[in-house]
Structure 1
Amino acid sequence: MNATAGCDLDSSAGKIFAATFYGGVFLLGLPLNCLVLWAMAPQLKTEQCLPVFSASLLASNLLLLVTLPLGLTYLLHHSPWTLGSAVCTLVRAAFFLHLFASVLFLTWISVVRYVAVGHPLRFAAFQSSRGGCLSCATLWLLALALCATGAFLVPSQGHGNGNRSYCFRTHPMPPDYAVFRLVTSVLFYILPCLTLGTMYVLIQRTLWGAASVQAVERERITTMIAVVVAGFALLYGPYHAVECYRCIAVLLRRDICSVERALFLPDRITLAVSTLTAVLIPVFYIVSAKKVRQRIRHGPANPGQQQVPHFLPSSIPVPRPSALNCQS
């Protein structure tokens, strides 16, 4: 048993599972995200906003992936943190910036997709690469502000028995940080889940009311959107449920260390599982985006070849494709 910043926890619990999971996410996620970013690079040069959002989503995955080796080494060797509080803060911030930014961009992309499908003329006036960059900058700044708030509320390095340094091993969780985590769980899980579900229903209703869309295509599009909603709920849900229970126990001042011991393994496992999004998001783009697949298979397109934006299936009904700035 190893003392962990105030509570005596078994830090070896779930270590092999988490290390294997993180290693697999890193080995698969890094090349996949880079590959998809390369495949959609031509679309970033067009006057369209959605490719910018998609690229930002993939960039948020890379933030997590580039710091995983440090966390993986620390987890496997269970050694004192020797890289200092600055690096510890950087690693922790990269993870939560990935978490906040990925949720923000997933939710925003779903809203913009609905506007493109349900209100194409409004979308035509809204979308532009400049507008996409401004929206991206706003979302990134919001995610950064939340990361800075979290870093302020919890110390980057703690100390256990023998004055051993641990990176962000906060057990028990500070009460102020517990409030912060409860708020972020509502803002970055419950509200996004409701938003994604609502957008799914609205897009489905729009497509089913469009006679120009064939039944097979309608089923394919709604299935892809349902996969996004279900994946978000299943991958992020368990982690937020465990964290919310921890936070409530801290705020109610129950036997906090007993709760921490009971939840340490579920927290470690659900946190590891949540990082699977860094693999599944690029896989989803490869499976669902025809032009991304074509560029991966055949390399760069001919200079004169027009690109169809990956974010909007060609079968989605729009009254004027030119108004959407989509070229077929």
Structure 2
Amino acid sequence: MPSFFLAVLILGLPLNLLSLWVFFHRLRRWSRSTVFLFNLTLADTSWLLALPYLINYHLDHLYWKLGLTFCAAVRMFYHNYFYLSIFFVTLISVDRYLAIVHPLRSLVLLGRRQTCLLCVAVWVAALILSIPVATMTLIQTCPGSNRTVCTLYILLSETGESLPYSLFCSLIGFLFPLLSICYCGLHSVRELRHRSCRPDPHNKQRRLRRVLSAVLVLFALFYLPYHLSRNAAIVMRVVYPDNPASWHNADLAFALEMCFCSIITCVNPLFSCFIGGQFRKEFHGTFAVIFSHCPGTQVASMISKRTRMRTKQGMSTVSPVCALPAPRSQ
């Protein structure tokens, strides 16, 4: 886990910091999708900044030295991030649905003020949803040693509170958003297919259909196994309360899913590039400027320029400008 989290931190933090820089310094006009994508990136960056504490905790052989308050805050923030990500991805899907299926109504339902208030409501709702994590987090001392463990509520032997809470979060924080994304995505794709008879020289409709389908697939791929393994780990404690050895496989599956779900912090910046056209242009431009100063990239940039020039020349020879007819000789 610490090696995996460290790799995610090294890859995800520069991508998200670069995305925040693009949001603040390169984008002048913010649409609804831009506001939702910014909040999603902000949630990713906040979680990545808190990740070093978990990495240090695991590298120190699960020896927590920062006290119960900070332990509860880290555990609550870790739990809070997943639902922030889920809610903002859901809002992006709803926004795309309204823009495609109900373009005029969306201007009334989601103005600039309503969009900002909705983002604030999501942050508050996710925080309230994660408060029970702090109350169930414990500092336990290992028998025979002085080592203190920052216990995750899912791994507690007492399941009277953890199982109902986990099922409630799975229902409110995952199942309802998943159904919303399915509904919005399927209706948006169907609407775009009805428009397929219209001319689309740049294949924007086809690209948008692929993006909406990819959102649904990635959402289910990342979060469905996580919630299944989390509930399974708690259920095993309910079914076999006196046999801790039987919990091992479920706990291992949940630990692997925690690692796998952390990859979403690296995927979301790419997701922002696919959703926001202007963001994609600015992100690619900023990325190219950064790497243009690296050694060995000047040759590649010269090659790409020559390729573009040849492409333009080739296009001009394929479709020449029609010349005026030559004057007849007298």
Query: 1:26–1:65: 8 Å Cα contact kept in structure 2?
Result: yes
Hey, what's the Cα distance between the residues in 1 that align with 2:130 and 2:243?
A: 25
Work out the number of aligned pairs and report it. Answer: 282
Could you tell me how far 1:23 is from its partner in structure 2?
Answer: 1.0
Hey, what's the Cα distance between the residues in 2 that align with 1:221 and 1:247?
A: 39
Could you tell me how far 1:88 is from its partner in structure 2?
Answer: 0.9
Aligned partner of residue 161 in structure 2, secondary structure: helix
Query: Once superposed, what is the RMSD of the aligned Cα atoms?
Result: 2.3
Change (3 A) 1:198 1:232: same
Aligned partner of residue 166 in structure 1, secondary structure: strand
Structure 1: segments with no counterpart, 5+ residues: 1-17, 301-328
Q: Does 1:207 align with 2:189?
A: no
Change (3 A) 1:131 1:165: same
Query: 2:236–2:247: 8 Å Cα contact kept in structure 1?
Result: no
Could you tell me how far 1:29 is from its partner in structure 2?
Answer: 0.8
Query: TM-score scaled to structure 2, two decimals?
Result: 0.78
Q: Please name the residue that 2:322 is paired with.
A: none
Structure with larger RCO (C-alpha < 8 A, sep 6+): 1
Q: Does 1:158 align with 2:130?
A: no
Change (3 A) 1:220 1:47: closer
Structure 2: segments with no counterpart, 5+ residues: 288-330
Residue by residue, what CA displacement relative to the aligned partner does 1:69-117 show, whole Å, maximum 9, x if unpaired? 1111111220521111111112112211211111111112111210111
% same residue: 26
Q: Does 1:105 align with 2:91?
A: no
Q: Please name the residue that 2:123 is paired with.
A: 140
Could you tell me how far 1:178 is from its partner in structure 2?
Answer: 1.6
Select the residue among 219, 222, 231 that pairs with 1:235. 222
Aligned partner of residue 132 in structure 1, secondary structure: helix
Q: Please name the residue that 2:209 is paired with.
A: 222
Select the residue among 171, 194, 197 that pairs with 2:156. 171
Query: 1:46–1:129: 8 Å Cα contact kept in structure 2?
Result: no
Query: 1:48–1:132: 8 Å Cα contact kept in structure 2?
Result: no
Change (3 A) 1:173 1:262: farther
Q: Please name the residue that 2:270 is paired with.
A: 283
Query: 2:33–2:276: 8 Å Cα contact kept in structure 1?
Result: no
Q: Please name the residue that 1:188 is paired with.
A: 173
Q: Please name the residue that 1:246 is paired with.
A: 233
Q: Please name the residue that 1:85 is paired with.
A: 68
Could you tell me how far 1:255 is from its partner in structure 2?
Answer: 4.4
Pair member with larger Rg: 2
Query: 1:172–1:260: 8 Å Cα contact kept in structure 2?
Result: no
Residue by residue, what CA displacement relative to the aligned partner does 1:170-223 show, whole Å, maximum 9, x if unpaired? 432532112101111122222222221221110001111124363833322111
